[in-house]
A and B are shown apart, each in its own frame.
Chain A
Protein backbone atom coordinates (compact mmCIF):
# COMPACT_ATOMS: atom_id res chain seq x y z
CA UNK A 1 0.00 0.00 0.00
CA UNK A 2 2.91 2.32 0.72
CA UNK A 3 4.24 1.80 -2.78
CA UNK A 4 0.80 2.48 -4.17
CA UNK A 5 0.62 5.85 -2.40
CA UNK A 6 4.12 6.75 -3.59
CA UNK A 7 3.36 5.89 -7.22
CA UNK A 8 0.03 7.70 -7.03
CA UNK A 9 1.72 10.82 -5.67
CA UNK A 10 4.43 10.62 -8.29
CA UNK A 11 1.86 10.34 -11.07
CA UNK A 12 -0.14 13.17 -9.55
CA UNK A 13 2.92 15.41 -9.67
CA UNK A 14 3.83 14.44 -13.24
CA UNK A 15 2.32 17.55 -14.86
CA UNK A 16 4.68 19.72 -12.81
CA UNK A 17 7.81 18.14 -14.21
CA UNK A 18 6.98 16.71 -17.60
CA UNK A 19 6.83 18.65 -20.88
CA UNK A 20 3.54 19.06 -22.70
CA UNK A 21 4.04 16.20 -25.06
CA UNK A 22 5.14 13.69 -22.45
CA UNK A 23 1.82 14.37 -20.71
CA UNK A 24 -0.08 13.45 -23.87
CA UNK A 25 1.78 10.16 -24.06
CA UNK A 26 1.35 9.48 -20.37
CA UNK A 27 -2.39 10.12 -20.52
CA UNK A 28 -2.78 7.68 -23.39
CA UNK A 29 -0.59 5.12 -21.64
CA UNK A 30 -2.77 5.30 -18.52
CA UNK A 31 -5.93 4.84 -20.59
CA UNK A 32 -4.47 1.77 -22.26
CA UNK A 33 -3.26 0.60 -18.87
CA UNK A 34 -6.82 0.73 -17.56
CA UNK A 35 -7.95 -1.32 -20.56
CA UNK A 36 -5.23 -3.94 -20.09
CA UNK A 37 -5.91 -4.17 -16.36
CA UNK A 38 -9.60 -4.75 -17.01
CA UNK A 39 -8.71 -7.64 -19.31
CA UNK A 40 -6.44 -9.06 -16.64
CA UNK A 41 -9.50 -9.76 -14.47
CA UNK A 42 -10.63 -12.23 -17.11
CA UNK A 43 -7.29 -13.54 -18.36
CA UNK A 44 -5.11 -13.52 -15.28
CA UNK A 45 -7.61 -14.29 -12.55
CA UNK A 46 -10.24 -16.44 -14.22
CA UNK A 47 -8.38 -17.87 -17.24
CA UNK A 48 -11.04 -16.57 -19.57
CA UNK A 49 -8.88 -15.69 -22.57
CA UNK A 50 -10.88 -13.03 -24.36
CA UNK A 51 -9.87 -12.37 -27.92
CA UNK A 52 -12.41 -9.61 -28.26
CA UNK A 53 -11.63 -7.06 -25.61
CA UNK A 54 -11.51 -4.32 -28.23
CA UNK A 55 -15.30 -4.67 -28.14
CA UNK A 56 -15.36 -3.21 -24.62
CA UNK A 57 -13.04 -0.37 -25.58
CA UNK A 58 -14.93 0.37 -28.76
CA UNK A 59 -18.33 0.29 -27.06
CA UNK A 60 -17.13 2.76 -24.47
CA UNK A 61 -15.43 4.99 -27.02
CA UNK A 62 -18.40 5.15 -29.39
CA UNK A 63 -20.94 5.56 -26.60
CA UNK A 64 -19.18 8.43 -24.87
CA UNK A 65 -18.33 9.98 -28.24
CA UNK A 66 -21.94 9.81 -29.32
CA UNK A 67 -23.22 11.26 -26.05
CA UNK A 68 -20.72 14.12 -26.11
CA UNK A 69 -21.47 14.95 -29.74
CA UNK A 70 -25.25 14.73 -29.59
CA UNK A 71 -26.24 15.59 -26.03
CA UNK A 72 -25.13 18.22 -23.57
CA UNK A 73 -24.30 15.66 -20.92
CA UNK A 74 -21.30 16.73 -18.82
CA UNK A 75 -18.17 14.80 -19.64
CA UNK A 76 -17.85 12.67 -16.47
CA UNK A 77 -21.48 11.55 -16.76
CA UNK A 78 -21.08 10.64 -20.42
CA UNK A 79 -17.99 8.60 -19.58
CA UNK A 80 -19.79 6.87 -16.73
CA UNK A 81 -22.86 6.11 -18.86
CA UNK A 82 -20.67 4.61 -21.57
CA UNK A 83 -18.94 2.42 -19.04
CA UNK A 84 -22.26 1.16 -17.67
CA UNK A 85 -23.47 0.47 -21.19
CA UNK A 86 -20.40 -1.67 -21.91
CA UNK A 87 -21.01 -3.61 -18.70
CA UNK A 88 -24.67 -4.23 -19.53
CA UNK A 89 -23.92 -5.36 -23.08
CA UNK A 90 -21.26 -7.65 -21.64
CA UNK A 91 -23.88 -9.58 -19.66
CA UNK A 92 -25.56 -10.66 -22.88
CA UNK A 93 -22.27 -11.40 -24.62
CA UNK A 94 -20.95 -13.35 -21.66
CA UNK A 95 -24.17 -15.31 -21.36
CA UNK A 96 -23.55 -16.72 -24.85
CA UNK A 97 -19.76 -16.99 -24.68
CA UNK A 98 -19.74 -18.91 -21.41
CA UNK A 99 -21.67 -21.70 -23.11
CA UNK A 100 -18.21 -22.69 -24.35
CA UNK A 101 -14.87 -23.09 -22.67
CA UNK A 102 -11.21 -22.70 -23.55
CA UNK A 103 -10.39 -21.78 -27.11
CA UNK A 104 -14.04 -21.86 -28.15
CA UNK A 105 -14.73 -19.17 -25.55
CA UNK A 106 -11.93 -17.07 -27.03
CA UNK A 107 -13.33 -17.49 -30.54
CA UNK A 108 -16.84 -16.57 -29.41
CA UNK A 109 -15.53 -13.36 -27.89
CA UNK A 110 -13.73 -12.74 -31.17
CA UNK A 111 -16.95 -13.36 -33.11
CA UNK A 112 -18.86 -10.84 -30.99
CA UNK A 113 -16.14 -8.24 -31.33
CA UNK A 114 -16.05 -8.70 -35.11
CA UNK A 115 -19.84 -8.45 -35.31
CA UNK A 116 -19.61 -5.24 -33.34
CA UNK A 117 -16.96 -4.13 -35.83
CA UNK A 118 -19.38 -4.86 -38.66
CA UNK A 119 -22.12 -2.91 -36.85
CA UNK A 120 -19.74 0.03 -36.35
CA UNK A 121 -19.02 -0.10 -40.06
CA UNK A 122 -22.66 -0.20 -41.11
CA UNK A 123 -24.64 1.84 -38.60
CA UNK A 124 -23.72 5.11 -40.25
CA UNK A 125 -26.14 7.39 -38.42
CA UNK A 126 -24.72 6.50 -35.00
CA UNK A 127 -21.13 5.45 -35.61
CA UNK A 128 -20.24 7.45 -38.71
CA UNK A 129 -19.31 4.18 -40.48
CA UNK A 130 -15.74 4.08 -41.75
CA UNK A 131 -15.07 7.72 -40.82
CA UNK A 132 -15.98 7.14 -37.22
CA UNK A 133 -16.92 10.00 -34.96
CA UNK A 134 -14.66 13.01 -35.29
CA UNK A 135 -14.43 16.27 -33.40
CA UNK A 136 -15.68 14.78 -30.12
CA UNK A 137 -15.71 17.67 -27.63
CA UNK A 138 -14.85 17.67 -23.96
CA UNK A 139 -18.01 19.22 -22.61
CA UNK A 140 -18.03 21.37 -19.49
CA UNK A 141 -19.62 20.50 -16.20
CA UNK A 142 -21.08 19.27 -14.06
CA UNK A 143 -21.81 22.34 -11.89
CA UNK A 144 -19.77 24.60 -14.14
CA UNK A 145 -16.57 22.65 -13.62
CA UNK A 146 -14.33 23.20 -16.62
CA UNK A 147 -11.15 21.60 -15.34
CA UNK A 148 -11.56 18.47 -17.48
CA UNK A 149 -11.41 20.55 -20.64
CA UNK A 150 -7.78 21.38 -20.00
CA UNK A 151 -5.03 18.98 -20.80
CA UNK A 152 -3.77 18.46 -17.29
CA UNK A 153 -7.28 18.43 -15.88
CA UNK A 154 -8.12 15.59 -18.21
CA UNK A 155 -4.99 13.79 -17.18
CA UNK A 156 -6.17 13.93 -13.56
CA UNK A 157 -9.57 12.57 -14.54
CA UNK A 158 -7.85 9.61 -16.23
CA UNK A 159 -5.51 9.15 -13.29
CA UNK A 160 -8.36 9.13 -10.77
CA UNK A 161 -10.27 6.61 -12.88
CA UNK A 162 -7.24 4.35 -13.14
CA UNK A 163 -6.34 4.52 -9.45
CA UNK A 164 -9.96 4.03 -8.43
CA UNK A 165 -10.34 1.09 -10.79
CA UNK A 166 -7.11 -0.42 -9.51
CA UNK A 167 -8.21 -0.21 -5.88
CA UNK A 168 -11.57 -1.64 -6.87
CA UNK A 169 -9.98 -4.55 -8.74
CA UNK A 170 -7.59 -5.23 -5.93
CA UNK A 171 -10.31 -5.49 -3.36
CA UNK A 172 -12.35 -7.55 -5.81
CA UNK A 173 -9.66 -10.16 -6.34
CA UNK A 174 -8.96 -10.21 -2.61
CA UNK A 175 -12.61 -10.81 -1.75
CA UNK A 176 -14.42 -14.16 -1.55
CA UNK A 177 -15.62 -13.39 -5.08
CA UNK A 178 -12.00 -13.29 -6.22
CA UNK A 179 -11.30 -16.55 -4.46
CA UNK A 180 -14.03 -18.21 -6.51
CA UNK A 181 -12.55 -16.71 -9.69
CA UNK A 182 -9.17 -18.22 -8.84
CA UNK A 183 -10.92 -21.48 -8.13
CA UNK A 184 -12.39 -21.37 -11.64
CA UNK A 185 -8.93 -20.61 -13.02
CA UNK A 186 -7.29 -23.57 -11.30
CA UNK A 187 -10.05 -26.14 -11.57
CA UNK A 188 -13.51 -25.20 -12.70
CA UNK A 189 -15.03 -28.65 -12.20
CA UNK A 190 -13.97 -28.70 -8.59
CA UNK A 191 -15.30 -25.20 -7.95
CA UNK A 192 -18.57 -26.22 -9.51
CA UNK A 193 -18.76 -29.32 -7.32
CA UNK A 194 -18.25 -27.12 -4.27
CA UNK A 195 -21.64 -25.63 -5.05
CA UNK A 196 -20.67 -22.42 -6.87
CA UNK A 197 -22.54 -21.51 -9.98
CA UNK A 198 -19.34 -20.89 -11.92
CA UNK A 199 -21.09 -19.66 -15.02
CA UNK A 200 -22.74 -16.87 -13.08
CA UNK A 201 -19.37 -15.89 -11.64
CA UNK A 202 -17.85 -15.88 -15.09
CA UNK A 203 -20.64 -13.70 -16.47
CA UNK A 204 -20.14 -11.33 -13.56
CA UNK A 205 -16.41 -11.00 -14.09
CA UNK A 206 -16.87 -10.43 -17.84
CA UNK A 207 -19.38 -7.68 -17.05
CA UNK A 208 -17.01 -5.98 -14.61
CA UNK A 209 -14.12 -6.37 -17.03
CA UNK A 210 -16.15 -4.89 -19.88
CA UNK A 211 -17.39 -2.02 -17.73
CA UNK A 212 -13.80 -1.07 -16.85
CA UNK A 213 -12.61 -1.65 -20.42
CA UNK A 214 -15.55 0.47 -21.56
CA UNK A 215 -14.46 3.14 -19.10
CA UNK A 216 -11.05 3.17 -20.75
CA UNK A 217 -12.62 3.52 -24.19
CA UNK A 218 -14.99 6.20 -22.91
CA UNK A 219 -11.98 8.15 -21.67
CA UNK A 220 -10.12 7.66 -24.93
CA UNK A 221 -12.56 9.21 -27.39
CA UNK A 222 -12.77 12.66 -25.74
CA UNK A 223 -9.00 12.49 -25.24
CA UNK A 224 -8.22 11.81 -28.91
CA UNK A 225 -11.28 13.65 -30.17
CA UNK A 226 -12.41 10.74 -32.31
CA UNK A 227 -13.55 7.14 -32.30
CA UNK A 228 -13.38 4.81 -35.27
CA UNK A 229 -13.60 1.18 -36.29
CA UNK A 230 -9.91 0.46 -35.68
CA UNK A 231 -10.71 0.58 -31.97
CA UNK A 232 -12.99 -2.46 -32.35
CA UNK A 233 -10.83 -4.41 -34.81
CA UNK A 234 -9.53 -7.87 -33.85
CA UNK A 235 -5.93 -6.77 -34.23
CA UNK A 236 -6.39 -4.39 -31.33
CA UNK A 237 -7.94 -7.17 -29.23
CA UNK A 238 -4.82 -9.21 -29.89
CA UNK A 239 -2.58 -6.31 -28.92
CA UNK A 240 -4.37 -5.78 -25.62
CA UNK A 241 -3.93 -9.45 -24.83
CA UNK A 242 -0.22 -9.11 -25.60
CA UNK A 243 -0.05 -6.08 -23.27
CA UNK A 244 -1.49 -8.18 -20.45
CA UNK A 245 0.91 -11.04 -21.04
CA UNK A 246 4.01 -8.92 -21.51
CA UNK A 247 3.21 -7.02 -18.32
CA UNK A 248 2.54 -10.13 -16.26
CA UNK A 249 -0.94 -11.62 -16.07
CA UNK A 250 -2.74 -12.00 -12.79
CA UNK A 251 -0.99 -9.05 -11.18
CA UNK A 252 -3.20 -6.05 -12.16
CA UNK A 253 -0.17 -3.73 -12.00
CA UNK A 254 1.74 -5.76 -14.59
CA UNK A 255 -0.77 -5.24 -17.41
CA UNK A 256 -0.77 -1.48 -16.74
CA UNK A 257 3.00 -1.47 -17.16
CA UNK A 258 2.65 -3.80 -20.14
CA UNK A 259 0.29 -1.40 -21.87
CA UNK A 260 2.55 1.58 -21.25
CA UNK A 261 5.55 -0.40 -22.41
CA UNK A 262 3.80 -1.60 -25.57
CA UNK A 263 2.63 1.85 -26.56
CA UNK A 264 5.77 3.78 -25.70
CA UNK A 265 8.07 1.20 -27.27
CA UNK A 266 6.16 1.28 -30.54
CA UNK A 267 6.06 5.04 -30.43
CA UNK A 268 9.77 5.48 -29.75
CA UNK A 269 10.98 2.73 -32.08
CA UNK A 270 8.97 4.09 -34.97
CA UNK A 271 10.75 7.43 -34.55
CA UNK A 272 14.13 5.82 -34.94
CA UNK A 273 13.53 3.50 -37.83
CA UNK A 274 11.04 2.63 -40.49
CA UNK A 275 11.73 -1.03 -39.67
CA UNK A 276 10.42 -0.57 -36.14
CA UNK A 277 8.26 -3.68 -36.43
CA UNK A 278 11.39 -5.80 -36.76
CA UNK A 279 12.85 -4.61 -33.46
CA UNK A 280 9.45 -4.52 -31.80
CA UNK A 281 9.00 -8.18 -32.68
CA UNK A 282 12.49 -9.15 -31.57
CA UNK A 283 11.95 -7.47 -28.21
CA UNK A 284 8.76 -9.45 -27.71
CA UNK A 285 10.47 -12.70 -28.59
CA UNK A 286 13.25 -11.78 -26.16
CA UNK A 287 10.67 -11.13 -23.45
CA UNK A 288 9.10 -14.54 -23.85
CA UNK A 289 12.46 -16.25 -23.72
CA UNK A 290 14.04 -14.37 -20.86
CA UNK A 291 11.23 -12.89 -18.79
CA UNK A 292 8.53 -15.56 -18.50
CA UNK A 293 6.71 -13.69 -15.75
CA UNK A 294 6.49 -10.46 -17.73
CA UNK A 295 7.64 -7.00 -16.76
CA UNK A 296 6.12 -7.15 -13.29
CA UNK A 297 7.77 -10.50 -12.67
CA UNK A 298 11.08 -9.01 -13.76
CA UNK A 299 10.70 -6.05 -11.40
CA UNK A 300 9.62 -8.03 -8.36
CA UNK A 301 12.31 -10.65 -8.89
CA UNK A 302 14.89 -7.88 -9.00
CA UNK A 303 13.42 -6.44 -5.83
CA UNK A 304 13.49 -9.76 -4.02
CA UNK A 305 17.04 -10.59 -5.08
Chain B
Protein backbone atom coordinates (compact mmCIF):
# COMPACT_ATOMS: atom_id res chain seq x y z
CA UNK B 1 0.00 0.00 0.00
CA UNK B 2 1.69 3.23 -1.06
CA UNK B 3 1.26 6.50 0.72
CA UNK B 4 -1.33 7.91 -1.65
CA UNK B 5 -3.67 4.94 -1.54
CA UNK B 6 -3.16 4.71 2.22
CA UNK B 7 -4.23 8.32 2.66
CA UNK B 8 -7.18 7.90 0.33
CA UNK B 9 -8.46 4.79 2.10
CA UNK B 10 -7.96 6.28 5.55
CA UNK B 11 -9.73 9.51 4.62
CA UNK B 12 -12.69 7.57 3.28
CA UNK B 13 -12.66 5.43 6.42
CA UNK B 14 -12.81 8.60 8.45
CA UNK B 15 -15.60 10.08 6.34
CA UNK B 16 -17.75 6.97 6.63
CA UNK B 17 -17.23 7.00 10.37
CA UNK B 18 -18.04 10.71 10.41
CA UNK B 19 -21.33 9.95 8.67
CA UNK B 20 -22.32 7.52 11.41
CA UNK B 21 -21.30 9.96 14.14
CA UNK B 22 -23.21 12.73 12.39
CA UNK B 23 -26.46 10.75 12.36
CA UNK B 24 -25.97 10.10 16.05
CA UNK B 25 -25.12 13.70 16.87
CA UNK B 26 -27.56 15.59 14.68
CA UNK B 27 -30.67 14.18 16.34
CA UNK B 28 -29.30 15.13 19.71
CA UNK B 29 -28.44 18.60 18.46
CA UNK B 30 -32.12 19.06 17.71
CA UNK B 31 -33.32 17.79 21.07
CA UNK B 32 -30.53 19.07 23.24
CA UNK B 33 -29.63 22.23 21.41
CA UNK B 34 -33.11 23.49 20.66
CA UNK B 35 -35.29 22.01 23.37
CA UNK B 36 -32.54 22.00 26.04
CA UNK B 37 -33.55 18.49 27.02
CA UNK B 38 -30.81 16.14 28.14
CA UNK B 39 -32.08 13.06 26.36
CA UNK B 40 -30.23 10.24 28.08
CA UNK B 41 -32.19 7.76 25.96
CA UNK B 42 -30.70 8.92 22.65
CA UNK B 43 -28.33 5.96 22.43
CA UNK B 44 -31.19 3.59 23.13
CA UNK B 45 -33.17 4.99 20.20
CA UNK B 46 -30.09 4.43 18.06
CA UNK B 47 -30.05 0.81 19.19
CA UNK B 48 -33.80 0.51 18.71
CA UNK B 49 -33.32 1.67 15.12
CA UNK B 50 -30.90 -1.17 14.45
CA UNK B 51 -33.31 -3.80 15.83
CA UNK B 52 -36.29 -2.31 14.00
CA UNK B 53 -34.19 -2.28 10.85
CA UNK B 54 -33.39 -5.95 11.37
CA UNK B 55 -37.08 -6.84 11.71
CA UNK B 56 -38.11 -4.73 8.75
CA UNK B 57 -35.46 -6.39 6.60
CA UNK B 58 -36.64 -9.81 7.77
CA UNK B 59 -40.27 -9.05 7.08
CA UNK B 60 -39.99 -7.24 3.77
CA UNK B 61 -36.69 -8.59 2.50
CA UNK B 62 -35.60 -5.07 1.69
CA UNK B 63 -32.94 -3.01 3.43
CA UNK B 64 -34.57 0.14 2.06
CA UNK B 65 -37.81 -0.68 3.84
CA UNK B 66 -35.81 -0.92 7.07
CA UNK B 67 -34.26 2.43 6.36
CA UNK B 68 -37.73 3.98 6.19
CA UNK B 69 -39.65 1.95 8.77
CA UNK B 70 -37.00 1.95 11.51
CA UNK B 71 -36.79 5.75 11.87
CA UNK B 72 -40.56 6.12 11.46
CA UNK B 73 -41.43 3.71 14.26
CA UNK B 74 -38.68 4.99 16.56
CA UNK B 75 -39.67 8.59 15.81
CA UNK B 76 -43.28 7.73 16.61
CA UNK B 77 -42.28 6.21 19.93
CA UNK B 78 -40.18 9.29 20.68
CA UNK B 79 -43.03 11.66 19.84
CA UNK B 80 -45.46 9.63 21.93
CA UNK B 81 -43.04 9.76 24.86
CA UNK B 82 -42.82 13.52 24.52
CA UNK B 83 -46.61 13.86 24.45
CA UNK B 84 -47.22 11.45 27.29
CA UNK B 85 -44.49 12.43 29.74
CA UNK B 86 -42.00 15.12 28.77
CA UNK B 87 -44.72 17.64 28.06
CA UNK B 88 -45.64 17.74 31.71
CA UNK B 89 -42.10 18.60 32.73
CA UNK B 90 -41.30 21.78 30.81
CA UNK B 91 -41.90 23.91 33.90
CA UNK B 92 -39.36 21.88 35.87
CA UNK B 93 -35.58 22.09 35.89
CA UNK B 94 -33.25 20.08 33.65
CA UNK B 95 -32.74 17.33 36.20
CA UNK B 96 -36.30 16.11 35.63
CA UNK B 97 -35.46 15.42 31.97
CA UNK B 98 -32.28 13.66 32.91
CA UNK B 99 -34.12 11.35 35.26
CA UNK B 100 -37.15 10.62 33.12
CA UNK B 101 -35.00 9.81 30.09
CA UNK B 102 -32.72 7.70 32.29
CA UNK B 103 -35.85 5.77 33.24
CA UNK B 104 -36.80 5.51 29.58
CA UNK B 105 -33.35 4.12 28.73
CA UNK B 106 -33.84 1.27 31.18
CA UNK B 107 -37.40 0.54 30.11
CA UNK B 108 -36.72 0.68 26.39
CA UNK B 109 -33.50 -1.31 26.71
CA UNK B 110 -35.30 -4.07 28.58
CA UNK B 111 -38.19 -4.12 26.11
CA UNK B 112 -35.68 -4.53 23.29
CA UNK B 113 -34.08 -7.42 25.18
CA UNK B 114 -37.45 -9.06 25.72
CA UNK B 115 -38.57 -8.63 22.11
CA UNK B 116 -35.36 -9.47 20.22
CA UNK B 117 -33.43 -11.57 22.73
CA UNK B 118 -29.83 -11.34 23.90
CA UNK B 119 -27.95 -12.51 20.81
CA UNK B 120 -26.60 -10.08 18.24
CA UNK B 121 -28.60 -10.13 15.00
CA UNK B 122 -27.09 -9.82 11.56
CA UNK B 123 -28.35 -7.20 9.13
CA UNK B 124 -27.23 -7.88 5.58
CA UNK B 125 -25.93 -5.16 3.31
CA UNK B 126 -28.28 -5.02 0.30
CA UNK B 127 -26.83 -6.77 -2.74
CA UNK B 128 -26.51 -3.54 -4.66
CA UNK B 129 -24.17 -2.16 -1.99
CA UNK B 130 -22.30 -5.27 -0.92
CA UNK B 131 -19.52 -5.05 -3.50
CA UNK B 132 -16.13 -3.41 -3.42
CA UNK B 133 -14.50 -0.82 -5.60
CA UNK B 134 -10.77 -0.57 -6.19
CA UNK B 135 -9.30 2.80 -5.32
CA UNK B 136 -5.69 2.97 -6.49
CA UNK B 137 -5.65 -0.84 -6.28
CA UNK B 138 -6.97 -0.96 -2.74
CA UNK B 139 -10.37 -2.60 -2.19
CA UNK B 140 -12.95 -0.41 -0.49
CA UNK B 141 -16.51 -1.44 0.46
CA UNK B 142 -19.26 0.21 -1.57
CA UNK B 143 -21.42 0.33 1.54
CA UNK B 144 -19.00 2.75 3.20
CA UNK B 145 -19.14 5.04 0.20
CA UNK B 146 -22.92 4.83 0.47
CA UNK B 147 -22.65 5.92 4.14
CA UNK B 148 -20.64 8.98 3.13
CA UNK B 149 -23.23 9.84 0.49
CA UNK B 150 -26.12 9.24 2.91
CA UNK B 151 -24.45 11.51 5.45
CA UNK B 152 -24.09 14.27 2.86
CA UNK B 153 -27.71 13.86 1.72
CA UNK B 154 -29.08 14.00 5.27
CA UNK B 155 -26.91 17.02 6.09
CA UNK B 156 -28.14 18.92 3.05
CA UNK B 157 -31.70 17.72 3.67
CA UNK B 158 -31.75 18.98 7.25
CA UNK B 159 -30.21 22.27 6.25
CA UNK B 160 -32.85 22.79 3.55
CA UNK B 161 -35.60 21.61 5.87
CA UNK B 162 -34.69 24.19 8.49
CA UNK B 163 -34.17 26.99 6.00
CA UNK B 164 -36.96 26.38 3.55
CA UNK B 165 -39.92 24.71 5.24
CA UNK B 166 -42.55 26.14 7.54
CA UNK B 167 -41.89 23.50 10.20
CA UNK B 168 -38.19 24.29 9.96
CA UNK B 169 -38.94 27.94 10.51
CA UNK B 170 -41.14 27.10 13.48
CA UNK B 171 -38.43 24.92 14.97
CA UNK B 172 -35.93 27.74 14.74
CA UNK B 173 -38.45 30.19 16.10
CA UNK B 174 -39.44 27.91 18.97
CA UNK B 175 -35.83 27.60 19.99
CA UNK B 176 -35.54 31.39 20.13
CA UNK B 177 -38.80 32.29 21.78
CA UNK B 178 -41.47 29.69 22.41
CA UNK B 179 -43.99 32.12 23.89
CA UNK B 180 -43.86 34.39 20.88
CA UNK B 181 -44.51 31.44 18.59
CA UNK B 182 -47.39 30.41 20.79
CA UNK B 183 -48.82 33.94 20.65
CA UNK B 184 -48.82 33.66 16.88
CA UNK B 185 -51.35 30.86 17.19
CA UNK B 186 -48.97 27.98 16.62
CA UNK B 187 -49.32 24.83 18.70
CA UNK B 188 -45.90 24.86 20.35
CA UNK B 189 -46.58 21.51 21.93
CA UNK B 190 -46.96 19.93 18.52
CA UNK B 191 -43.72 21.49 17.34
CA UNK B 192 -41.92 20.12 20.37
CA UNK B 193 -43.34 16.64 19.85
CA UNK B 194 -42.25 16.91 16.26
CA UNK B 195 -38.70 17.92 17.14
CA UNK B 196 -38.36 15.17 19.71
CA UNK B 197 -39.76 12.60 17.29
CA UNK B 198 -37.48 13.72 14.48
CA UNK B 199 -34.48 13.66 16.81
CA UNK B 200 -35.23 10.09 17.89
CA UNK B 201 -35.94 9.11 14.29
CA UNK B 202 -32.54 10.44 13.19
CA UNK B 203 -30.85 8.41 15.94
CA UNK B 204 -32.73 5.35 14.70
CA UNK B 205 -31.69 6.09 11.11
CA UNK B 206 -28.10 6.07 12.34
CA UNK B 207 -28.82 2.73 14.00
CA UNK B 208 -30.23 1.16 10.83
CA UNK B 209 -27.28 2.40 8.80
CA UNK B 210 -24.75 1.20 11.38
CA UNK B 211 -26.35 -2.25 11.70
CA UNK B 212 -24.65 -3.79 8.63
CA UNK B 213 -21.28 -2.87 10.16
CA UNK B 214 -22.01 -3.85 13.74
CA UNK B 215 -25.05 -6.16 13.77
CA UNK B 216 -27.98 -5.21 15.97
CA UNK B 217 -26.84 -5.90 19.51
CA UNK B 218 -27.56 -4.91 23.08
CA UNK B 219 -24.09 -3.42 23.38
CA UNK B 220 -24.81 -0.80 20.73
CA UNK B 221 -26.35 1.79 23.03
CA UNK B 222 -23.35 1.64 25.38
CA UNK B 223 -21.12 4.51 24.47
CA UNK B 224 -23.38 5.87 21.71
CA UNK B 225 -25.00 8.40 24.01
CA UNK B 226 -21.62 9.74 25.11
CA UNK B 227 -20.34 9.91 21.53
CA UNK B 228 -23.46 11.86 20.62
CA UNK B 229 -23.01 14.33 23.48
CA UNK B 230 -19.37 14.84 22.60
CA UNK B 231 -20.29 15.64 18.99
CA UNK B 232 -22.96 18.13 20.06
CA UNK B 233 -20.71 19.84 22.58
CA UNK B 234 -17.64 20.06 20.35
CA UNK B 235 -19.77 21.43 17.53
CA UNK B 236 -21.57 23.91 19.74
CA UNK B 237 -25.02 23.35 21.15
CA UNK B 238 -27.80 23.66 18.63
CA UNK B 239 -25.49 24.27 15.68
CA UNK B 240 -26.07 21.92 12.73
CA UNK B 241 -22.95 22.89 10.80
CA UNK B 242 -21.21 22.53 14.16
CA UNK B 243 -22.24 18.91 14.62
CA UNK B 244 -21.24 18.10 11.06
CA UNK B 245 -17.85 19.69 11.61
CA UNK B 246 -17.47 17.96 14.96
CA UNK B 247 -18.38 14.55 13.52
CA UNK B 248 -15.75 14.93 10.80
CA UNK B 249 -13.15 16.19 13.24
CA UNK B 250 -13.76 13.40 15.75
CA UNK B 251 -13.73 10.76 13.02
CA UNK B 252 -10.41 11.97 11.60
CA UNK B 253 -8.85 12.14 15.06
CA UNK B 254 -10.12 8.63 15.78
CA UNK B 255 -9.00 7.09 12.50
CA UNK B 256 -5.55 8.67 12.31
CA UNK B 257 -5.07 8.73 16.08
CA UNK B 258 -5.80 5.01 16.27
CA UNK B 259 -3.40 4.36 13.42
CA UNK B 260 -0.42 6.24 14.82
CA UNK B 261 -1.07 6.03 18.55
CA UNK B 262 -3.25 2.95 19.16
CA UNK B 263 -2.67 3.23 22.91
CA UNK B 264 -4.51 6.53 22.98
CA UNK B 265 -7.54 5.34 21.03
CA UNK B 266 -9.65 5.35 24.18
CA UNK B 267 -8.71 8.87 25.22
CA UNK B 268 -8.50 10.63 21.84
CA UNK B 269 -12.09 11.86 21.68
CA UNK B 270 -12.03 13.25 25.20
CA UNK B 271 -8.71 14.98 24.74
CA UNK B 272 -10.17 16.65 21.68
CA UNK B 273 -13.24 17.76 23.60
CA UNK B 274 -11.10 19.07 26.44
CA UNK B 275 -8.99 21.06 24.04
CA UNK B 276 -11.96 22.54 22.19
CA UNK B 277 -13.85 23.49 25.35
CA UNK B 278 -10.85 25.09 27.00
CA UNK B 279 -10.23 27.23 23.94
CA UNK B 280 -13.88 27.81 23.08
CA UNK B 281 -16.18 26.99 26.00
CA UNK B 282 -19.23 27.24 23.72
CA UNK B 283 -17.96 24.69 21.22
CA UNK B 284 -16.56 25.27 17.73
CA UNK B 285 -19.56 27.03 16.24
CA UNK B 286 -21.55 27.66 19.40
CA UNK B 287 -22.57 31.13 20.45
CA UNK B 288 -22.09 31.14 24.19
CA UNK B 289 -20.70 29.06 26.98
Listed in ascending order, the chain A residues whose CB lies under 8 Å from chain B are 49, 96, 99-104, 107-108, 110-112, 114-115, 117-118, 121-122, 234, 238, 241-242, 245-246, 249, 275, 277-278, 280-285, 287-289, 292
Contact = CB atoms under 8 A, between A and B. Distances in A.
Contacts of A289: 85, 88, 100
Contact of B40 (A114, A238, A283): A238
Nearest to A280: B106
Contacts, number: 113
Given A96-B278, A104-B283, A292 B96 contact: yes
B44 to A, nearest CB: 10
Contacts of B95: 245, 249
Contacts of A288: 85, 89, 96, 99-100, 103
Counting chain A CB atoms within 10 Å of each CB, which of B95, B99, B109, B229 scores highest?
B95
B263 interface: yes
A238 to B, nearest CB: 7
Interface residues of B, number: 42
B267 A281 contact: no
B140 interface: no
Counting chain A CB atoms within 10 Å of each CB, which of B85, B104, B237, B267 scores highest?
B267
B179 interface: no
| Prevailing SS type, chain B contact patch | helix
> 5 tightest CB-CB pairs across the interface, nearest first?
A281-B106, A284-B103, A281-B107, A100-B281, A285-B103
13 contacts: A49-B94, A100-B281, A101-B281, A108-B277, A238-B40, A245-B99, A275-B113, A278-B114, A281-B103, A281-B105, A281-B106, A284-B99, A289-B85
A115 B85 contact: no
Contacts of B94: 49
Given A103-B237, A241-B98, A288-B99, A115 B107 contact: no
Contacts of A110: 226, 229, 270
Contacts of A281: 102-108, 110
Interface in B190-233: 226, 229-230, 233
A103 B270 contact: no
B107 A99 contact: no
Nearest to B95: A245
A73 to B, nearest CB: 31
Contacts of B114: 275, 278
A265 to B, nearest CB: 12
Interface in B214-260: 226, 229-230, 233, 237
Nearest to A273: B110
A63 B240 CA distance: 43
A108 B96 contact: no
A215 B266 CA distance: 27
Contact of A278 (B88, B89, B110, B282): B110
A104 B275 CA distance: 12
Interface in B63-120: 85, 88-89, 92, 94-96, 98-100, 102-111, 113-114
A103 B283 CA distance: 11
A115 B100 contact: no
B100 A285 contact: yes
A280 B114 CA distance: 15
